[in-house]
Amino acid sequence: MSKEHVFDEKELLASRSESLEHPRGKRTLKTTKWAKPVAPMSPERIAPISRKMKASTPLFASYLNVTSDTVRGWERARRRHFGSALKLLEIADKSPRALVD
């Protein structure tokens, strides 16, 4: 199911005018800074993070809000980490106290 878009010449010309106002200092554009993508971690990097935090596997898992089996799976390369879990692992690596406090 495709959505038909009606061409509106007035809208196009208005947006062109607005875009030209920015370099002239008449309009401020909003910019958004995106977070850098997190690089995948090897299983060998995960275990030292929990040791650095002086946390057992169950405690480390609770900091990340995952199960102990999940952490063990990451450490043994049986499971893949991604998304928010990967970001939390990066935070734990760089600022361990952030997860504990």
Instruction: Give 29 or 35, the one with higher predicted confidence.
Output: 35
Residue-level pLDDT at 68: 95
For the chain, domains (ranges, CATH) are: 43-100 (1.10.260)
- Judged by DSSP in three states, 7 sits in coil
Residue-level pLDDT at 33: 83
Other residues' Cβ atoms within 10 Å of the Cβ of residue 76: 11
